[in-house]
Amino acid sequence: MTRDKNFILGGRLSRRTFLGGAAALALPLAAPSLARAQSSSFKLGVLLPFSGGLELFAQQGMQGVKMAVDEFNANGGVLGRQIEIVQADDKTDPRTAVERATQLIRRDAVNAIVGPVTSANRDAIKSTIERGKTPLLYATDYEGGVCSPWMACYSAVPAHFVEPLIPFLAGRGAKSFYLFGADYTWPQKMNKAIRAKIEAGGGTVAGEEYTPFGMKDFAPTLRKIEESGTDFVILTLPGADGVTFVKQFAASGLKGKVGLSFLGFNENYLPGFSGDEAEGIIAPLPFMQSLDRPETKDFVARQRKAFGDDVVVTYYADSHYGLTKFYLDAVRKADSDDKAAIMAALPNQSILSGNGDVTLRASDRHVDLNILIASVKGGGLAMEEYIGKVAAPDQCSI
C-alpha cells in the first residue's frame, strides 16, 4: 500500500476534508483549522511504512491500532465522537515522513499521530511534532533516549533486549560475537549497548559492520564472519534485508557452526523462509502469539476475530494496540480534545497487555516490559526462557 487512505474503522469510507491549496499549508502548525471545526470525528493519524521495505511492521502496527479504535468506537468512541484513522505512508524515508507528518497536522488536523517505525523517521519528524504541539505515539523497539513532552513510547529499549540476551547467549557458551546491522541509528546504538554488555561479561566483539538498506549480496560479510571465528552473529537488520541475510547465511554453510540472534525478529518473518533456513534463530521478545498465558490467548483471539483465523500476531500489534489504548483512555480521562491536557493525562496508566501488566511511566513516558527469550523451532517460535519484568533506565536521564 503506497497511497494515503482516510477511513473510519468499523464504518464507511469517509471523504478527506481539505482546506484550500497553498493557503492550508501556510497555516501555523498549532493553529486551529477549518478542517477541525467541520469534522465530526476524532482524528487519529497513523504514519507507518506501508512501502519502502518495512511493510510487515506497518501491517502489524495497523492491526493493533485498528483493533483498539474499533473497540473504542463500539463503545461510543471518545468525547461523544467516533474515532477516524487518517493513514499515511512514510515510505521508510525521513523526508517523506516530514512531509506526511506536516500534512497530517496541517491539512488533516489530527489529534495525535501513531508511528513511525524507524528511528531516522522518528527523529526527522520530532521538530514538526513539537512545533505542532501534537502527540506522537511511538510503539516500536528502538535505541532509547527519546525525551519530549509531546512523545510517548511503548517500546523495548536496549535494557529490555540486551540485558537478558547477552547472559543467555553466554550461558550457551558464546564468548565471541559479530555485530551486523543496517546503517542507521537503531542498530548503531543497540550495538553500542551490546558491545558494552559483552565486554563487561568478559566476552569479545570479533567484528562490527553496517550495511545500507537494499543490499542484495551479503557474501563479503559472510566471509568476514567465517574468518573472524565468532561464536554468534547478532543481527540488527530489519525487514526484507534481514530475511535475505538469513537465507544467505543458511546457504553459506555457516548455519550450525555459528549461532544467530536476530533483534526485532517476530512471527511475521517466518513465512519468508523455507525449510530450516530460520531454524535456531534466537530472539528477545516482549510478546509472541504462542505464549501460554491467558492474556496472550485473549489478545490473539481478538486479533483473529477482527482480522481472520490466519492472521499473524506479533509484538508490533500488541505494542501499537497498547499505546493507542493508553492514548484513547487519556482522552476520556481528560474529557477534552486539548492536546496538552491529553498528554498530561497519559502517564501513570496501567493495562493488561498481551504479556502481563504494563504501566506508562510519568518520568519519561516509557514502559517497563515483560521479556522472554524465544527461538525458532519446527518453523515456529518457541519459549527458551521467560525473563519477566525488565525495568529500563529513565530515558530522560541517559
DSSP per residue over 276-311, as a string?
TTTTT-EEEES--TT--SHHHHHHHHHHHHHH-TT-
8 A C-beta contact, residue 295 and residue 354 = yes
Nearby residues of 387 by Cβ (< 8 Å), 6 or more positions away: 164, 284, 370, 371, 372, 373
8 A C-beta contact, residue 160 and residue 284 = yes
2-16, 27-41, 180-194, 377-391: which range is least confident on average?
Answer: 2-16
Question: Per-residue confidence at 39, pLDDT binned at 50, 70, 90?
Answer: low
- What is the separation, in whole angstroms, between the first and last Cα of the chain? 37
What is the number of H-type helices and E-type strands within the chain?
12, 15
| Phi/psi at 229 (5° precision) | 70, 20
For position 201, what pLDDT does the model report?
96
For position 1, what pLDDT does the model report?
37
| Phi/psi at 101 (5° precision) | -65, -40
Angle of helix 219-228 relative to helix 240-251, nearest 10 degrees?
Answer: 60
Q: Return d(Cα 182, Cα 212) in angstroms, integer.
A: 6
8 A C-beta contact, residue 187 and residue 210 = yes
Condensed to tens digits (0 to 9), the pLDDT of residues 192-229 reads 999 999 999 999 999 999 999 889 999 999 999 999 99
Percent of the chain with pLDDT strictly greater than 70: 90
Q: Return d(Cα 105, Cα 262) in angstroms, integer.
A: 36
Identify the structural domains of the chain with CATH numbers, from first to last.
5-156+315-367 (3.40.50.2300), 158-285+372-390 (3.40.50.2300)
**Confidence (pTM):** 0.85
5-14, 198-207, 371-380: which range is least confident on average?
Answer: 5-14
Nearby residues of 311 by Cβ (< 8 Å), 6 or more positions away: 63, 303, 304
8 A C-beta contact, residue 204 and residue 198 = yes
For position 35, what pLDDT does the model report?
41
For position 56, what pLDDT does the model report?
87
Mark residue 68 as left, alpha or beta (left: phi above 0; alpha: psi -120 to 50; beta: remaining).
alpha
Condensed to tens digits (0 to 9), the pLDDT of residues 146-160 reads 999 999 999 999 999
Q: How many CB atoms lie within 10 A of CB 97?
A: 28
Residue corresponding to grid cell 545500507: 212
8 A C-beta contact, residue 371 and residue 381 = no
DSSP per-residue string spanning 165-224? HHHHHHHTT--EEEEEEESSHHHHHHHHHHHHHHHHTT-EEEEEEEE-TT----HHHHHH
For position 111, what pLDDT does the model report?
98
DSSP per-residue string spanning 335-382? TS--HHHHHHHSSS-EEEEBTEEEEB-TTTS-B-EEEEEEEEETTEEE
